[in-house]
Structure 1
Amino acid sequence: MDDGDSGSEYESDIHILDSESEGDEELDEGIPMNRGPWFPVLDPWTFSLPEPNFHEQTGPGYQVVTELMRPHFNKEHHVTVDSFFTSPKLVHDLKDKGTFCTGTVIKTRRGMPKSYRTAKLQKGDMTVKYQGQLMAVLWAVRRLVTILTTTGSAR
């Protein structure tokens, strides 16, 4: 799907929503002034991703999160991401840029503890490992859930 551009333009589907507004009218997408219960406070913006070969070492999820968070670096914000985006490198790099991060992660992702790949835990048990300020948690709920965070401790 290469259109010949050096970078690809994407329109974000991210909205900051105002759930505090009064009224139970439905959001009419055709009328932007309608302030229903889920009125978008911030409209989506357009951003460019670099050349596709840029993602060879970090992946597209890393680039999306860092581009969206760039204006918020060094403000000690806390971003929460899902397993598509989360990697130890992303979480470390965000922490280095003054941004906290928590997210579920695929336990076989590069940089994750090797012992997590074959771990067998009973329901309710957890294993915690640290790498600097990064905490990796493997927790058996209904299934094994793996979380990376730069906030909190295992206590």
Structure 2
Amino acid sequence: MAMLAEAVIFFDRRLATDFAYIRKRAGQLASKQRYISAQLLALIEDGLWLRNAAIANSAAKRLADALRHIPQVKMHFPADANVLFVEMPKALADSLLANGHEFYHWPLLGQDVYRLVASFNTTESEVDSFVDDCKAIGL
């Protein structure tokens, strides 16, 4: 994970023609840029970004596989990445939040839809705790 670092990747070089100028005009030139760049290099050079993504995706898949067995939770999309959109009763979501779980209400997909995000540091025990709490609350 990089702090304050973002990368723009152009697959078509023609689109990058004036990018340095546009970035400068937008005021996106940080002082001490080399410190920010060092974070990106650490992620890219040894494949750390790919290992982190694999861990996050695996955690999301583990969560999705377990949530499929809970009747009051419905998956909106397949678990193809580290983000899940699930539909669950508001009372269940409120109880999970009260138990310390963190996720986001996502009303763009429906009133009772929530966005669950796994990261490179999501542990199996955190996933299991979320699932266990869903089962225990069992509205």
TM-score, scaled relative to structure 1: 0.26
Query: Per residue, is there more helix in 1 or in 2?
Result: 2
Choose between structure 1 and 2 for higher RCO, CA contacts under 8 A separated by at least 6 residues.
Answer: 2
Query: Per residue, is there more strand in 1 or in 2?
Result: 1
TM-score, scaled relative to structure 2: 0.28
